[in-house]
Structures are given as C-alpha cells and as structure tokens.
Chains A and B, each alone.
Chain A
Amino acid sequence: MRELLEILEKNARISTAEIASMLQRPEEEVKAQIELLEQEKVILSYSTLINWERYGEELVTAVIEINLTPQREVGFDALAERICRFDEVRTVYLMSGNFDLLVVVQGKSLKEISNFVATRLSSIEGVTQTRSHFLLKEYKKDGIILENEEQDRRLVIVP
C-alpha cells in the first residue's frame, strides 16, 4: 500500500496497468486499493504542480503569521477551520513558537491580498495579530526544484 502511494505521489497520471507491473500485483487489486484509499480519504486529490510564473501568470503569494486567543473547549481548531474556508487561503498550519497559525494566501495582486488580510482575517474575533510576508521567488515546491539544470549527461551506450 505504501509503495503504491509513493508511486502515485510522484506521478498521479501513471496507469494502473503500469503500477500493477511495477508492484507485481494484479491490476484489479491495484484498482481496488486505489478506490479504497480514495474512499478513506488517504488520497485526497490528484493535483498538478504548475510553475505559474513560467506560464506567464502573475500570482502573488503571502505567508501570514497569525496570533490567536484560544477558545474554551476547542482551543485553536474552530478559528483555524473558519480561516480554512476562504478560497484565497491555500494552506493552514498550527505552529509552535511565536505565533499560532501559518497561513498561505494567494491572490492576483498585492492589493487584493492586503485587502483580504485587513478585512477578512484580522477582523475575525480571536485574531489578535497578523504579520504578512510576501513571497518573492519560489525555488522548490513539494520536493520539486522549479528551475533545475541537472540533466542526463550520460552517453547513449555504455558497457
């Protein structure tokens, strides 16, 4: 199961027939396992890692540190869930250290993001402070180096 997930994590487009060969299992079994993993929400989605900058799309990303006042019974969870529901919010982590939530927000412009932070995030009751850091350049994302110059330099035939 783990190996199946490792293969899919690297390449979600690979066919079940290929996976079946690689793992030496019947294709039907592989299909069933994938379905089960999807049902159990171990596999959440099949997304594509895109270098938007290369495509020519201007996207602004900000990493925002948020301080919260924890609430009785639920601690940080209720507030974190509220913040999660905004489409602009790509990622939400609960952190140890000087702040509580690390939130990644994406928008079309600096203005759009600062507007979102000011009117939507800071205004939530329980949010005591926000600090926004705008992202200047992406070098590596989810294990993939975006501009990788390493290439296959091997000769075509080697004994």
Chain B
Amino acid sequence: MNWSEKLSTAVKSIAPSGIRKFFDIAAQMDDVISLGVGEPDFITPWSIRESCVYGLERGYTSYTANRGMPELRQEISRHYKRLYNLNYDADKEVLVTVGVSEALDLALRAVLEIGDEVLIPEPSYVSYKACTTLAGGVPVPVAAKLENEFRITPEELEPYVTPKTKVILIGYPNNPTGAIMERQDLLRLAEFAEKHDLIVISDEIYGDLTYSGFHECFSALPRMRDRTILLNGFSKAYAMTGWRIGYALSNEDFIGAMTKIHQYTMLCAPITAQVAAIEALKHGEKYMKKMVAEYDRRRNLIFDGLNKLGLKCFEPKGAFYIFPDITSTGMPADEFAEKLIRTERVALVPGTAFGESGAGHVRCSYATNIEKISEALKRIERFLDR
C-alpha cells in the first residue's frame, strides 16, 4: 500500500525544506561554526526564567483563557500604547498564541477563501508560502531587489495584483536579508494596500532588533490599525524561542475569528510561557537592550569582514542576518554553502531556501559570539582563496 497517495493535495504540494541537507552534513562533523542559526545565542535572561520557576512553584499549571492571561494581554496592550501610541483593547483585540508561527497560521486561515492570493515579498521566511498553501490560499511571491536593499515597492507588487488578491504578507526587519522598511516605504505600501483593499499581515518579530533609529510599526501608520494583523512575540528580542510564545493584534473581528480557530486547535498558549512573558514585558527591557547592543557590534564586525573578503553586501539594519552576494565566486548559493561546510566547516544557509530571489546569496546569522564570527570569517577567507 502506498500510503503517500492518501495524503492531501495541499500537503503534497509543499516542497520539502532545502535546509535539511546541510543539517545532515553538519551532524557528521565536529568543530562546525554555525552562521546558520535563526535564533539568539543568548539564553533567556535569568529573571524571566526565574519568574517561570516561581510560577510553577505556586501551581501555575492550568489552562488559561483562550485569548491568554488577562495580565499578559494588558501588558501587551500597554507596551504598544507606550511604544507606538496604539490602542488595542486587551479583551477583544489581543490574542496570545504559541509563537508567531501559530499566529501566522491563524491569521491566514481566518481570512483566506480557497484560491485567494497572498502577495509575499521574497526572499522571505520559509513558513509564509507553506502556511498560505495550507490555508487554501495561493502564494504569489514578488521578488525584492538587492539594488533596493530588498525593500519592496508598490511598482514591483502592482503587476501581480488580480481580483483574487486578498492579503499582503510582510516581514520587516526581514529574515533572511536583514532589510528594514523606512517610514516612507511603508507609507507607500499602506497606500497600495488601501488602493486594492488588501489585508496586511505584518510579522514584526524582529522589530526590537532594529539598529539605526526606531522600528516602524505598520499598524501605527495612518488608517492601518484595523487593516493590519500585527504579529509579534518574545522569541528573538528576549531570547525565548523555545518557550513558543507570541501574539496577534488587530481589529475585534479578525482577532475574534482567529480566537475561534485557536480555541479549537490550540486551546491556549502554555501558562508557563505566559507567566514568563509577563515578566519579560514588565522587567525585561534592560536585558533586551543589552542583547541588541551586542548584536549591533557583531553586525558591524561581520559586515566589515564580509565586505573586506570581497563578498558584497548591503548594510543590514535589522534582525540578526546579513545576506552577502556570492555571485563573484561563480558558484550558485547551494553549491557555495555545501562546499563551505564540507571544506571549512562553516554552516550557513543558501539564499534559495528563502525563495528564488535569494539566488546568488547566502544567509549568515550573527547570533553567535564575536570569537566565532571572527573565526568563521577567517575560514571563509581561506575558502575563497582556494
């Protein structure tokens, strides 16, 4: 019996991850320096971990409200009021989720009809296309360009708009490019969304990791609050990836619909992580700022280092990735990444893992310490000299 024939068409249509191969190669080696990790190298600040332990001791082990603990929702709402002067009703317009991953899935499932099209600027995080497909939608990738520092423009998007286009899904600061959108770029995107009456799903998980100036929150732009489903979480800024905790903010109708799916599929986010998240918002900012300052120094070091090696890259302004152009080596990204790990034991991710427009690039994560970054640069230099 060939059981794979019984799988759903949607699942079968999703391509397997291009990263798996490198994972397997690295697993057989010692002394690999990885620039391939999309999560902080810091461990969650102790005060946050400690609050979770204390919560467990006091018996915080139950389900919570579907939308999340009221105290956490209030803290999230307060946070957005303070940072962006945005008002979200903690009872109706905030949903606590199991990471941004769940929030993204809920958002797409809540708004997409079968066949609805979703504009996805690429390169983009690997889940965007797959989640769209699983929600019955059709992903429509639109290539952002290096010469524009991987920011997307309405002119680039316009040719892809059809009567079925319903959503534009953006993630800035961007994984894998490290690109951000300046305010004027976002304003033009907002105008575009209004013109075509699109819902904007804005994944701002890297928002706190912005290195020049401040992060621009899409929902805070004029008239964008209700049109936007804003996704954020604690994984990157507070080094809490394994806790799986995030949230969505939007109008009452969207959040209500997402909550409906969430209550039947996930029920609620783990209470332990919610307790820790409250502590992160209440007292975690100073630890977060320290980590951001450290990322910034690493960013400068790797940006300088790669440019000196002749691998051209634009200065990434957010997240913890840099996306050098490796076409000068004459190798495609996949080959470059495979040869580099096999000969010099440096792991990174080919740009093509993030969409076709990532061709000719590799993603280097600088969520690793200075010593390792310096050593990785030396190894890459040796590799290029071969």
Give me the interface of A with B, judged by CB distance under 8 Å.
3, 7, 11, 14, 18, 21-24, 150, 152, 154-159
Contacts and interface: CB of A to CB of B under 8 A. Distances in A.
Contacts, number: 60
Most chain A CB inside 10 Å of its own CB: which residue of B34, B41, B126, B347: B34
B297 A154 contact: no
Contact of A154 (B39, B175, B304): B39
A156 B374 CA distance: 18
B300 A155 contact: no
Contacts of B23: 155-157
Given A156-B27, A157-B23, 7 more contacts: A22-B298, A24-B304, A154-B37, A154-B41, A155-B23, A155-B37, A157-B37
A7 B126 CA distance: 35
B36 interface: yes
Contacts of B349: 157, 159
Interface in B211-230: none
A21 B306 CA distance: 11
B126 A157 contact: no
Most chain B CB inside 10 Å of its own CB: which residue of A7, A14, A155: A155
A15 to B, nearest CB: 9
A7 B32 CA distance: 25
Interface string B279-313: 00000000000000100011011001100000000
A159 B293 CA distance: 23
A18 B301 contact: yes
Interface in B328-386: 347, 349, 353, 370, 374
27 contacts: A3-B293, A11-B370, A18-B301, A18-B370, A21-B300, A21-B304, A21-B305, A22-B370, A23-B297, A23-B300, A24-B304, A152-B41, A154-B37, A156-B22, A156-B23, A156-B37, A157-B22, A157-B23, A157-B26, A157-B34, A157-B349, A158-B38, A159-B17, A159-B19, A159-B38, A159-B175, A159-B353
A23 B125 CA distance: 29
Nearest 5 CB-CB pairings of A with B: A22-B297, A157-B36, A21-B304, A156-B26, A158-B38
- Please classify the interface of chain A as helix (H, G, I), strand (E, B), loop, or mixed, using the class held by over half of its residues: loop
A24 B298 CA distance: 11
B43 interface: yes
Contacts of B41: 152, 154
Contact of A22 (B26, B37, B175, B300): B300
Interface in B25-71: 26-27, 32, 34, 36-39, 41, 43
Contacts of B293: 3
A33 to B, nearest CB: 16
Contacts of A22: 297-298, 300-301, 370
A139 B231 CA distance: 41
A156 B43 contact: no
Contacts of B27: 156
B111 to A, nearest CB: 24
Nearest to B302: A21
B37 A158 contact: yes
Contacts of B374: 18
Contacts of A159: 17, 19, 38, 125-127, 175, 349, 353
Nearest to B337: A157
A46 B141 CA distance: 53
Nearest to B17: A159
Nearest to B373: A18
A25 B22 CA distance: 36
Nearest to A11: B370
A3 B292 CA distance: 13
Nearest to B43: A150
Contacts of B32: 156
A118 B111 CA distance: 81
A23 B293 CA distance: 11
A77 to B, nearest CB: 35
Contacts of B36: 156-158
A155 to B, nearest CB: 7
A24 B297 CA distance: 9
A77 B348 CA distance: 58
